Structure 1
Amino acid sequence: MARIIWCTAAAAVVTCLCLWGSSEAVGGARSRPRPQKRPSTKPKVDPIDQTPSAQNTDLQQMGGTWYLLSAASKCSYLMRHGTKVEPTVMTLTPPSATDVTMSVRTKTRHNHQCWEILQVYDVTPTPGRLILKGPRPELNTDIVIGETDYRSYAIFYFHKMGKITMKLYGRSVDNLSEPVLTKFEELAEKQGLGLAYIFPFPTYSHCGAVDQDHIINCVPTC
Structure 2
Amino acid sequence: MQRVVFLVPLLVVGSTWTHQMDPVMENSPATPMENFDFEQFTGRWYEMAVLSTCPHYMQRKKRNPVIMALDLKHVPTQHNFTMTSSTFKNGTCGETLTVYSLTSTPGRFFHRVARFGADVDSFVTHTNYDEYALMLQLSTEQPSGNKTTTVKLYGRTMSVSAPVLDQFKALIRRHEMSEDAAIMNQHIGDCFPGKQMMEESANHQAFVPQISRQNITTEDKQSDV
Shorter-normalised TM-score: what interval?
Answer: 0.5 to 0.7
1:183 equivalent in alignment to 2:162: no
Larger radius of gyration: 1
Give the match's secondary structure for 1:183. helix
**Equivalent residues of 1:62, 1:94 under 8 A apart:** no
1:88 equivalent in alignment to 2:68: yes
Partner of 1:139: 118
**Equivalent residues of 1:74, 1:197 under 8 A apart:** no
Partner of 2:83: 104
1:104-152 alpha-carbon deviations (Å, 9 max, x no partner): 100111111011000110000111101003449x721111111100000
> Could you tell me how far 1:157 is from its partner in structure 2?
1.0
Partner of 2:18: none
Letter in 2 for 1:128: G
Letter in 2 for 1:145: V
Letter in 2 for 1:169: Y
> Could you tell me how far 1:60 is from its partner in structure 2?
0.5
Q: Map 1:1-222 to 2 at 5 A.
A: 49-81=28-60, 82=62, 84-96=64-76, 98-135=77-114, 139-161=118-140, 162-174=147-159, 176-209=160-193
> Could you tell me how far 1:209 is from its partner in structure 2?
2.5
Q: How many residues align?
A: 169
1:48-93 alpha-carbon deviations (Å, 9 max, x no partner): 9222211121111111110111001122234324263122110001
Unaligned residue ranges in structure 2 (runs of 5+): 7-23, 141-146, 196-225
Structure-2 separation of matches of 1:67 and 1:2: 20
Give the alignment's Cα RMSD to 1 decimal. 2.8
1:9-39 alpha-carbon deviations (Å, 9 max, x no partner): xxxxxxxxxxxxxxxxxxxxxxxxxxxxxxx
Q: Larger % of helix: which?
A: 2
Structure-2 separation of matches of 1:167 and 1:73: 9
Between the aligned residues of both structures, percent identity stands at: 26
Unaligned residue ranges in structure 1 (runs of 5+): 6-44, 212-222
**Equivalent residues of 2:66, 2:188 under 8 A apart:** no
